[in-house]
A and B are shown apart, each in its own frame.
Chain A
Amino acid sequence: MGSSIRRTDLLALSNLRDDGRKPEEIRRMRIQMGPITSTAESVGGSALVEMGLTIVLATVKGPMACVRRSDELPDRAIMDVSIKATPFAPSGDRRVTNPNSDRRLIEISHMLKRALEATVLLHLYPKSRIEVSVVILADDGGRLCASINAASMALVDSGIPMKDLLCSCSAGYAGGTTDTTLVDLNRREESPNGGQPAVYLPCAMLPQRGTIVLSQCESRLPDFDTLERVLDAAMDGCRAVFDILQAAIQEHASKILSIRSGNGGIDTPFSQ
């Protein structure tokens, strides 16, 4: 983490990032749909998403009755979203944070909730509750993006209707000598190097509709043009992620079809 070589030096030398990717490449993604068998009582759908070395597991329960009657809304469902980090997932800095009250986790769970509220057709389930739980098993940067992807895949797996497949990817900016935008930052690139915090813009969009659902950037950018470029790069990353997610859904669906028609076998989860 405390490298004295600046990110820009590496890029200038070989035009590759520190994990060997080109600036506009996203990390390798592996998706498992339904690693946790869905039953009627507990989990309705689940998905395990790996983006590079970041591994996130999401489960969906519902739609079901609200715990408290005062919570329910008369015309739509409410979403309960919680994101937790396991103790063995390194949280970045040396401090051990309480997953219940870590304000960053609370914040990203709030963001995820808002992003899902924009996607899921909640008005089909009035007075009910959809619960989404996300667990971060390994964190190598981009946990918000991976959580969003995992949550949307879990929703697909559980059969809850959505407007579009919500995809998310992050983008950054390596200023200085090389004026390139990076896509899908890992933890090294996210963390502040030197005194400067990294330009890190996670973004979520509905690719087939072309609309943005979430975008966040917290460091200083010289002007709007740079911001536009970074945002465009993030949207390209989201479209790339969408291709992968769509392929995974189709593969999973064909597998289920073949099982139901008696042809295929059952894979144990986590085994690929």
Chain B
Amino acid sequence: MVEAYVAIRDDSGIRSLSVNERDFLRTCVHGNTTLRIDGRTGQELRRVRLQLGRWDNGAECTVQWGNTRVSSLCSAQLVPPSPDRPNEGMVNFTVELSPMAGSSFRQAPVVSTGPLPMGARGPNYSDRNQRLLANRILRSVERVIILGGALDTEALVLAPGKWVWRFTIALTILDDGGNILDASILAAMAALRHYRKPQVQFSGDDEKESGAMSLPTMIPSIVKEATPLPLHHTPLSVSFALVPADNSSNAGSTSTVAAIADPTDREELVQHGTVTIAMNTHSEVCLLDFGGGCEIPPSKLKECWKIAQTTTKQLCQFLEQTLQDANGKAQQERLEKLKQQQDGKFATSAASLPPNAPYFEQSKIGDEMNVEVEVDVDHIAEVEKKAEEAYRQQALDYSRGHVASKVREDSTKEKSSQQKGKSLIAAMLRSVNQGDKGESTRRSEEYASDVAHSVVTGGKQRQVTNREDSCKVVDKTKNRVAMDLNDDEDEEAPTILQSEFHSSSREEKAPTEYALTPPPNTNDEANDLSMAIKKKKKKAKKKKPT
């Protein structure tokens, strides 16, 4: 671990500087060769590190620029456009100088170009200087991105006059180590570049005669690939601190003023003015902001431009590189998700899965399915009979029957289930079936009574959890139709099949082949299983032609 030197921050509202430090910083800058405290020359920037993240409708970027840390978040919504600008999208910026950035930011309000989001009220009292600083950052970011032509609001229109995109870019200053403005602009641009706009589909009729507005829904990026934003160019900025040479606290006479790039927070205390220049990779100047505070001869300004040209080019290259890497990673993640989802659709072959945990989970849900049936109806015997019938049907279903059985639970319940054996098929099913409904009927009986116990007495953990699971399952089965693709494709697929089986009688579903893997756990079961499997195969094959 590298030891970092953390400077003690000044606690007073007006950040004060001792005379010694001020003179020292001044002589650093005005010496023969400018050598600053951290070893940089007057034109070097500090090390920048970017961290990018992306999800379905958003992107975030955290910039660590020396000691300064800024985080930005970019997200979008679909809204009807404002009536006087029907062909333009909207972009809102919010800048928050978080108090964790520095003790002088205690009273900084949240400034925004649009209405503030709920709950984002800053403190009621706000220091004027902090407000000005936040405002300045907000205006610079807004100017660079909107007025500078990087993001064209007219390109954010989805359906002219009906639906446009509204972007919200929220910048939070997490740590102030000097030069917040450059870090903010970099964070905002990186988030915008990394963001991918989801495709949109319109639900309902698009016909005008229907009268009702068709509502657009965003397609998740797994289904359809999201597109990047149409950014014309990527401007990035460099700020200079103007430090006068003389020792008086006012710029009394025309003294030589030195410009140092990317000031740290101590250097910012010595500065009398600041110049910010934003350019893009094509060396076009996007922003020139000399905010005054001290006077400079125009030649100095021109010097700053030249320095800015090379440094912003470096920054832009660095940003491109980082964006490419991050994009590559995000693409990979997406491909992996796609693969998972596709595998899940075909209800992963049992061979590919280890016979332990996934099956356990699958079976658990299958149990709960049946438990739900039990709990709903009081006529346990009747339902049991139905379940038996269902199992018989299931035995006929070749593909269903070949799902590998579950593991641990079987071993404990198997003995009890075998007592009930009415037919070989039933016994076989009970031991083989992944849902193992025979047992579940039994278990459900127990549960039905146990549930009451557990709720009252606060019984064993297992029962309590089963109760909760049953509740969950109740909801699940109610939404049979609306079961979306989850991450847990493996679990979902069998339950879907089961529910369909319940609702439709006798329909044989054979979506895929289920390979058979005997569970390696209990020997008894293994023996039964292999016997049962052989028998079942024969039976199924017999049944099919008839």
Check B296 against A211 for contact (C-beta < 8 Å): yes
A241 to chain B, nearest CB (A): 17
* Chain B residues whose C-beta falls within 8 Å of the C-beta of A260 in the assembled complex: none
Check B297 against A121 for contact (C-beta < 8 Å): no
Within 8 Å of chain B (Cβ to Cβ): is A33? no
Check A224 against B285 for contact (C-beta < 8 Å): yes
Annotate B212-236 by CB proximity to A: 1 below 8 A, 0 otherwise.
0000000000000000000001000
Within 8 A of B (CB), among A211-235: 211-224, 227-228, 231, 235
Within 8 Å of chain B (Cβ to Cβ): is A22? no
Return the chain A residue nearest B138 by Cβ.
A103
Annotate B138-178 by CB proximity to A: 1 below 8 A, 0 otherwise.
11000110011100101000000000000000000000000
Within 8 Å of chain B (Cβ to Cβ): is A25? no
* Chain B residues whose C-beta falls within 8 Å of the C-beta of A115 in the assembled complex: 292
Return the chain A residue nearest B253 by Cβ.
A163
The 5 A-B residue pairs whose C-beta atoms are closest, nearest first, are A114-B292, A211-B295, A214-B292, A115-B292, A217-B288
Among the listed B139, B288, B292, B301, which residue makes an inter-chain contact with A107, where contact means beta carbons less than 8 Å apart? B139
Given contacts A106-B131, A211-B296, contact A222 B273 (CB under 8 A): no
* Chain B residues whose C-beta falls within 8 Å of the C-beta of A211 in the assembled complex: 254, 295-298
Within 8 Å of chain A (Cβ to Cβ): is B136? yes
* Chain B residues whose C-beta falls within 8 Å of the C-beta of A217 in the assembled complex: 285, 287-289
Given contacts A75-B249, A110-B132, A209-B295, contact A223 B285 (CB under 8 A): yes
Within 8 Å of chain B (Cβ to Cβ): is A6? no
Residues of B participating in the A interface, judged by any CB pair closer than 8 Å:
13-14, 84, 111, 113, 131-132, 135-136, 138-139, 143-144, 147-149, 152, 154, 233, 248-252, 254, 272-273, 283-298, 301-302, 305-306, 309
Return the chain B residue nearest A228 by Cβ.
B302
Within 8 Å of chain B (Cβ to Cβ): is A268? no
Check A212 against B152 for contact (C-beta < 8 Å): no
Given contacts A107-B135, A196-B149, A227-B288, contact A118 B273 (CB under 8 A): yes
- Cα–Cα distance between A103 and B133 once the two chains are bound (Å): 12
Check A118 against B298 for contact (C-beta < 8 Å): no
Within 8 Å of chain B (Cβ to Cβ): is A58? no
A152 to chain B, nearest CB (A): 13
A110 to chain B, nearest CB (A): 5
A-B contact pairs, 19 of them (CB 8 A): A75-B249, A94-B84, A104-B139, A110-B132, A110-B136, A114-B273, A123-B248, A195-B149, A195-B154, A196-B149, A206-B295, A211-B295, A211-B298, A217-B287, A219-B148, A220-B149, A224-B302, A227-B305, A235-B298
Check B254 against A118 for contact (C-beta < 8 Å): no
Among the listed A117, A216, A227, which residue makes an inter-chain contact with B289, where contact means beta carbons less than 8 Å apart? A216
Check A219 against B292 for contact (C-beta < 8 Å): no
Among the listed A76, A123, A197, A215, which residue makes an inter-chain contact with B147, where contact means beta carbons less than 8 Å apart? A197
Check B292 against A117 for contact (C-beta < 8 Å): yes
Annotate A98-137 by CB proximity to B: 1 below 8 A, 0 otherwise.
0000011011001100110111011100000000000000
Check B284 against A223 for contact (C-beta < 8 Å): yes
Among the listed B132, B233, B283, B309, which residue makes an inter-chain contact with A106, where contact means beta carbons less than 8 Å apart? B132
- Cα–Cα distance between A72 and B286 once the two chains are bound (Å): 37
B332 to chain A, nearest CB (A): 35
Check A103 against B111 for contact (C-beta < 8 Å): yes
Return the chain B residue nearest A70 by Cβ.
B13
Among the listed A106, A107, A196, A213, which residue makes an inter-chain contact with B295, where contact means beta carbons less than 8 Å apart? A213
* Chain B residues whose C-beta falls within 8 Å of the C-beta of A205 in the assembled complex: 295
B309 to chain A, nearest CB (A): 7
Known pairs A103-B113, A209-B254, A211-B297; list 19 more (Cβ under 8 Å).
A75-B249, A94-B84, A103-B138, A106-B132, A107-B135, A107-B136, A114-B273, A117-B293, A195-B154, A197-B147, A211-B298, A212-B290, A214-B291, A217-B288, A219-B148, A220-B233, A223-B285, A227-B285, A227-B305
Within 8 Å of chain B (Cβ to Cβ): is A201? yes
Within 8 Å of chain B (Cβ to Cβ): is A204? yes
Check A218 against B148 for contact (C-beta < 8 Å): yes
- Cα–Cα distance between A106 and B251 once the two chains are bound (Å): 25
* Chain B residues whose C-beta falls within 8 Å of the C-beta of A220 in the assembled complex: 148-149, 233, 284-286
- Cα–Cα distance between A202 and B287 once the two chains are bound (Å): 12
- Cα–Cα distance between A75 and B251 once the two chains are bound (Å): 13
- Cα–Cα distance between A210 and B301 once the two chains are bound (Å): 13
A104 to chain B, nearest CB (A): 7
A27 to chain B, nearest CB (A): 23
Among the listed A121, A204, A215, which residue makes an inter-chain contact with B301, where contact means beta carbons less than 8 Å apart? A215
Check A231 against B149 for contact (C-beta < 8 Å): no
* Chain B residues whose C-beta falls within 8 Å of the C-beta of A224 in the assembled complex: 283, 285, 302, 305-306, 309
- Cα–Cα distance between A205 and B291 once the two chains are bound (Å): 12
Within 8 A of B (CB), among A22-77: 70, 73, 75-76
Return the chain B residue nearest A112 by Cβ.
B292
Check A111 against B297 for contact (C-beta < 8 Å): no
- Cα–Cα distance between A106 and B139 once the two chains are bound (Å): 10
* Chain B residues whose C-beta falls within 8 Å of the C-beta of A163 in the assembled complex: 295
- Cα–Cα distance between A210 and B297 once the two chains are bound (Å): 6
- Cα–Cα distance between A224 and B279 once the two chains are bound (Å): 10
Given contacts A217-B288, A218-B148, A219-B148, contact A212 B301 (CB under 8 A): yes
B299 to chain A, nearest CB (A): 10
Among the listed A114, A123, A231, A235, which residue makes an inter-chain contact with B293, where contact means beta carbons less than 8 Å apart? A114
Check A103 against B139 for contact (C-beta < 8 Å): yes
A82 to chain B, nearest CB (A): 10
Check B290 against A215 for contact (C-beta < 8 Å): yes
From B113, B250, B309, name the one whose CB has the most chain A CB atoms within 10 angstroms.
Answer: B250
- Cα–Cα distance between A111 and B143 once the two chains are bound (Å): 15
Check A123 against B249 for contact (C-beta < 8 Å): yes
- Cα–Cα distance between A217 and B285 once the two chains are bound (Å): 9
B456 to chain A, nearest CB (A): 60
Return the chain B residue nearest A120 by Cβ.
B250
- Cα–Cα distance between A57 and B355 once the two chains are bound (Å): 84
Among the listed A107, A123, A212, which residue makes an inter-chain contact with B296, where contact means beta carbons less than 8 Å apart? A212
* Chain A residues whose C-beta falls within 8 Å of the C-beta of B297 in the assembled complex: 210-212
* Chain B residues whose C-beta falls within 8 Å of the C-beta of A222 in the assembled complex: 284
Check B152 against A195 for contact (C-beta < 8 Å): yes
- Cα–Cα distance between A196 and B150 once the two chains are bound (Å): 11
- Cα–Cα distance between A231 and B290 once the two chains are bound (Å): 12
Check A118 against B147 for contact (C-beta < 8 Å): no
- Cα–Cα distance between A220 and B144 once the two chains are bound (Å): 9
Annotate A185-198 by CB proximity to B: 1 below 8 A, 0 otherwise.
00000000001110
* Chain A residues whose C-beta falls within 8 Å of the C-beta of B233 in the assembled complex: 220
From B143, B291, B292, B298, name the one whose CB has the most chain A CB atoms within 10 angstroms.
Answer: B292
Check A213 against B292 for contact (C-beta < 8 Å): yes
Within 8 A of B (CB), among A132-175: 163
- Cα–Cα distance between A100 and B295 once the two chains are bound (Å): 29
